[in-house]
């Protein structure tokens, strides 16, 4: 909607930039201007200036410049219209309506919002009553006291079919209005309308402009069909375009004390609240559905790198892969999604209770890139033990790459998938007359050719089986301890040092100390190596019998994989030995190279 310039000028005359900006930035007058430290970059000497006479601010360290509208867009992630509306309210002005019909619709929306707001006050009051004792006890059990309950606007819907309806109608609402606002249900057979939310803890839901438009409810009874229930689609509320606590999270993300690169996306209401209690108030949640395109765009308005935090179970992995694939067509340079998977069976609230706020902060700090999620999904889709399946794997990666619209990002993802394919399987070589791989020059994911001799004497990356065996040993130290002798004999290539650190930590008892084996390895400087290894967690767990396998079943799967891997490694050594002897018989002029090859064979045997 076009806003008259005169209206924008009127806002600027009523709101001084120094007053608005001074609420979050410490400003000191310097002549006709105000100066302060940059809110956009860390600095020791002030380079940020505000000029009320000219109506703008300028930051020399970041080169950001603008007026009061730009300030809200930069620091709170608001759109231009949202900034206009926010400043108009502060200035005591009414934003001009585009046309009479639009004005009529807006007036109707305001009327519905008033009933939703009144319902919220009703729910908040009922949570303090005697009927809500069980609800209050539940919230206290989740670590929420009266202060937190009020801060998050929680309430309680009585287990009564007409409590809210009768209250609002006594205040002047009609059944038609309450139905349109999603507060009551009108039966198709024309029966009496009744309350939509009954016997539930209530969570208020605001739209991106901060207006209360809907509710979510958690059932207190175990017998109800739906544990969580949201308001239906209404003129106020469109589920796929709203995120729980988005306005509050967006503001928090731009707080100079946090300066997050993006919001945290959790799975549910209580997860968002757990993050806030842990000092991460910039968390949001979709409303019972996978992330939509609109919600992804909404996330990017608040920061370029939102972190999607999900359970580490199979359902969480599927949800992450769906969000990652959905984001591909929307990616722009500097805008992406990152992912965190919590330990199996734990949600943010569990982690907060068991290990404290630090564990949640560390989890978010270890977020992984979008490409990891897509790679792991396709890698684990089926065994890649024959050419046809590997070809299918490549085809699926190409199909994902084709969904990316931005040409620069498409090229980067193609190169990344290319690199990983080369690491996992080696680069396809030209097919000789006797058979073998034939490199397709038109394959955008094919790596550069590598000579057979180089493949025989050089292994720059540990094979997938080696990575899976070592990661399983780290995930389940009981297996590593029971199979220490076998683990010590496995050829690990570039992972030898990490394997030795695992065995050393087990032998010294460090693995049973504070933080366990992972903490011990991190203290030894292997955090980055473990982080890279964890990209293979999903296929590794599939190889160990799946997410729900018992420990003894996992141990047996580990032993079988180790035996199979050692057999294959032994075959490779024998093949290399034959190649070396052939070179010797034929009289290889490069005797140094031959000696290195033979020495490498002997070292492999000693392992």
The residue extents of the domains of the chain are: 5-91, 100-237, 246-375, 381-450, 464-606
Using alpha carbons, list the distances in angstroms from residue 502 to 467, 508, 528: 13, 10, 15
Higher pLDDT, 463 or 511: 463
- 542-564 average pLDDT score: 85
In the DSSP assignment, the letter for residue 94 is: P
Higher confidence at residue 266 or residue 426?
Answer: 266
User: Given the structure tokens 């209770």, which residue do they identify?
Assistant: 353
**Length in residues, the chain:** 607
Q: Tell me which DSSP letter residue 95 carries.
A: P
**Residues 586-590, mean pLDDT to the nearest whole number:** 43
> Environment class of residue 117 by beta-carbon count within 10 Å: exposed (0-12), middle (13-18) or buried (19+)?
middle
- Name the average pLDDT for the chain: 83
Residue 34 in contact with residue 22, Cβ under 8 Å?
yes
Asked whether the CA dihedral 483, 484, 485, 486 is positive or negative, the reply is: positive
Per the CB < 8 A criterion, the answer to whether 208 and 246 are in contact is yes
Question: Does residue 125 register a pLDDT over 90?
Answer: yes
For every residue of 356-374, DSSP letters joined together read -HHHHHHHHHT-EEHHHHH
Is residue 396 within 8 Å of residue 378, measured between CB atoms?
yes
* 390 has a pLDDT exceeding 80: yes
- Per-residue pLDDT band at 193 (split at 50, 70, 90): very high
Per-residue pLDDT band at 453 (split at 50, 70, 90) = very low
Tell me which residue has tokens 């958690």: 218
Q: Does residue 244 or residue 319 have the better pLDDT? A: 244
State if pTM tops 0.75: no
DSSP category for residue 332: B
Q: Which residues of 329-350 are buried (b: 16+ CB within 10 A; e: fewer)?
A: ebbeeebbbbbbbbbeebbbbe
Confidence of residue 5 (pLDDT cuts 50, 70, 90): low
pLDDT score, position 99: 64
- The pLDDT of residue 245 is above 90: yes
pLDDT level of residue 173 (50, 70, 90 thresholds): very high
- What does residue 88 show for φ and ψ, rounded to 5 degrees? -65, -45
Among the CATH numbers 3.40.50.2300, 3.40.190.10, 3.40.1360.10, 3.40.50.150, which is that of 246-375? 3.40.1360.10
Domains 5-91 and 100-237 share a fold: no
Element (H, E) at 215: strand 212-219
The Cα–Cα gap between 275 and 283 comes to: 6
Q: How far, in Å, CA of 556 to CA of 371, rounded?
A: 32
pLDDT band, residue 110 (cuts 50/70/90): confident
Confidence (pLDDT) at 1: 56
pLDDT score, position 431: 34
> Can you say whether the dihedral through the CA atoms of 300, 302, 306, 308 is positive or negative?
negative
Bridge-based pairing state of the strands 264-265 and 283-284: parallel
Separation of alpha carbons 109 and 302, rounded Å: 25
3-state secondary structure 420-457: HHHHHHCCCCCCCCCCCCCCCCCCCCCCCCCCHHHHHH
Tell me the three state secondary structure of residue 130: helix
Residue 56 has a CB neighbour count (10 Å cut-off) of: 17
Inform me whether the pLDDT recorded for 306 exceeds 90: yes
pLDDT band at 571 (very low <50, low <70, confident <90, very high): low
Sign of the four-CA dihedral 120, 206, 345, 530: negative
- Give the pLDDT score at 566: 79
Q: Which residue has the higher pLDDT, 106 or 495?
A: 495
Distance of CA 60 to the CA centre of its chain: 33
- CA 301, CA 298: separation in Å to the nearest integer? 5
Q: Is 327 exposed, middle or buried (0-12, 13-18, 19+ CB in 10 A)?
A: buried
* Per-residue model confidence (pLDDT) at position 229: 93
End-to-end CA distance of the chain: 72
- Number of neighbouring beta carbons within 10 Å of residue 392: 15
Q: Where are the beta strands (DSSP E) in 248-306?
A: 264-265, 283-284
User: What is the per-residue pLDDT across 491-520, written as a single tens digit (0 to 9) for each?
Assistant: 887 888 888 888 878 777 776 666 678 888
SS3 235: coil
Rama region for 556: left / alpha / beta (φ>0; ψ in -120 to 50; rest): alpha
Q: Give residue 47's pLDDT band: very low, low, confident or very high (50, 70, 90).
A: very high
Residue range 128-172, pLDDT digits in tens? 999 999 999 999 999 999 999 999 999 999 999 999 999 999 999
Q: Rounded to an integer, what distance in angstroms lies between the CA atom of residue 113 and that of residue 429?
A: 66
Distance of CA 454 to the CA centre of its chain: 40
Please report which residue ranges of 160-228 form alpha helices under DSSP H. Answer: 163-170, 175-180
Distance (Å, whole) CA 506 – CA 497: 14
Q: Name the residue with higher pLDDT: 483 or 512.
A: 483
| 162 vs 184: CA distance, rounded Å | 9
In the chain, pLDDT over 70 holds for what percent of residues? 85
pLDDT-wise least confident of 69-78, 133-142, 148-157, 232-241: 69-78
Identify whether the C-beta of residue 312 lies closer than 8 Å to the C-beta of residue 343.
yes
**Phi, psi torsion values for 586, nearest 5 degrees:** -75, -10
User: Which pLDDT value is given to residue 429?
Assistant: 43
Q: Phi, psi (5° rounding) for residue 575?
A: -60, -45
Whether 420 contacts 396, CB under 8 Å: no
Q: Cα–Cα distance between 190 and 231 in angstroms, integer?
A: 21
pLDDT of the residue at 102: 65
pLDDT tier, 396 (very low <50, low <70, confident <90, very high otherwise): very high
Tell me what pLDDT residue 441 has: 39
> In the predicted model, what is the mean pLDDT of residues 168-190?
94
pLDDT at 445 over 60: no
Fold of 5-91: DNA Primase; Chain A (3.90.580)
**Do 413 and 404 touch, CB atoms closer than 8 A?**
yes
Beta 264-265 vs 307-311: how paired, if at all?
Answer: parallel
Structure tokens at 105: 């619709």
Closest CA to 439 of 421, 453, 454: 421
Per-residue pLDDT, averaged over 456-483, amounts to 76
Task: Tell me what the mean pLDDT of segment 243-268 comes to.
Answer: 89
Per-residue confidence (pLDDT) for residue 79, from 0 to 100: 86
Residues in CB range of 275: below 8 A, 6 or more apart: 264, 266, 281, 282, 283, 309, 348, 360
Distance CA 439, CA 451 (A): 12
Q: For 100-237, give the CATH class.
A: alpha beta
Contacts of 354 (CB under 8 A, 6+ apart): 346
State how far the Cα of 493 lies from the Cα of 548, in Å rounded to an integer: 31
């Amino acid at each position: 909607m076009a806003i008259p310039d005169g209206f924008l000028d009127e806002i600027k005359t009523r709101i001084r930039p120094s007053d608005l900006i001074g609420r979050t930035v410490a400003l000191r007058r310097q002549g006709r201007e105000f100066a302060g430290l940059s809110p956009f970059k860390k600095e020791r000497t002030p380079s940020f200036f505000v000029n009320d006479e000219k109506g703008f601010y300028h930051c020399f360290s970041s080169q950001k410049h603008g007026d009061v509208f730009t300030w809200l867009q930069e620091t709170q992630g608001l759109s231009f219209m949202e900034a206009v509306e926010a400043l108009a309210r502060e200035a005591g002005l009414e934003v001009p309506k585009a046309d009479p019909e639009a004005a009529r619709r807006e007036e109707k929306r305001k009327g519905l919002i008033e009933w939703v707001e009144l319902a919220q006050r009703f729910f908040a009051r009922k949570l303090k009553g005697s009927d809500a004792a069980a609800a209050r006890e539940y919230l206290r059990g989740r670590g929420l006291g009266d202060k937190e309950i009020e801060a998050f606007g929680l309430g309680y819907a009585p287990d009564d079919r007409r409590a809210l309806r009768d209250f609002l109608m006594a205040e002047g609402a009609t059944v038609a209005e309450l139905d349109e606002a999603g507060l009551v249900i009108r039966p198709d057979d024309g029966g009496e309308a009744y309350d939509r939310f009954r016997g539930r803890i209530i969570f208020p839901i605001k739209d991106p402009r901060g207006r209360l438009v809907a509710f979510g409810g958690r059932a207190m009874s175990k017998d109800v069909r739906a544990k969580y229930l949201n308001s239906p689609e209404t003129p106020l509320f469109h589920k796929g375009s709203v995120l729980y606590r988005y306005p509050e999270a967006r503001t928090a993300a731009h707080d100079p004390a946090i300066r997050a690169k993006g919001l945290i996306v959790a799975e549910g209401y209580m997860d968002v609240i757990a993050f806030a209690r842990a000092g991460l108030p910039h968390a949001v949640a979709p409303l019972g559905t996978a992330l939509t395109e609109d919600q992804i765009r909404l996330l990017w308005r608040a920061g370029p790198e939102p972190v999607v935090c999900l359970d580490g179970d199979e359902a969480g992995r599927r949800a992450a892969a769906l969000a990652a694939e959905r984001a591909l067509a929307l990616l722009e340079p500097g805008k992406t999604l990152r992912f965190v998977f919590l330990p199996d069976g734990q949600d943010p609230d569990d982690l907060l209770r068991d290990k404290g706020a630090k564990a949640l902060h560390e989890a978010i700090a270890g977020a992984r890139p979008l490409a990891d999620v897509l790679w792991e999904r396709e890698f684990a889709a089926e065994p890649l033990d024959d050419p046809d399946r590997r070809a299918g794997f490549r085809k699926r990666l190409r199909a994902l790459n084709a969904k990316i619209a931005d040409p620069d990002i498409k090229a980067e993802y193609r190169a990344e998938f290319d690199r990983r394919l080369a690491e996992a399987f080696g680069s396809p070589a030209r097919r000789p007359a006797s058979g073998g791989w034939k490199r397709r020059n038109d394959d955008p994911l094919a790596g550069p050719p590598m000579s057979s001799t180089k493949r025989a004497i050089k292994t720059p990356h540990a094979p997938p089986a080696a990575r899976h065996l070592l990661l399983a040993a780290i995930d389940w130290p009981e297996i590593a301890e029971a199979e220490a002798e076998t683990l010590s004999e496995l050829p690990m290539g570039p992972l030898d040092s990490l394997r030795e650190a695992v065995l050393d930590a087990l032998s010294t008892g460090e693995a049973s100390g504070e933080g366990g084996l992972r903490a011990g390895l991190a203290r030894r400087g292997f955090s980055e190596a473990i982080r890279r290894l964890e990209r293979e967690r999903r296929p590794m767990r599939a190889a160990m019998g799946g997410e729900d396998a018992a420990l003894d079943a996992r141990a047996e799967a580990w032993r079988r994989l180790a035996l199979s891997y050692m057999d294959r490694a032994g075959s490779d050594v024998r093949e290399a030995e034959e190649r070396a002897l052939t070179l010797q018989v034929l009289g290889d002029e490069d005797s140094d190279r031959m000696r290195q090859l033979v020495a490498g064979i002997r070292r492999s045997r000693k392992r």
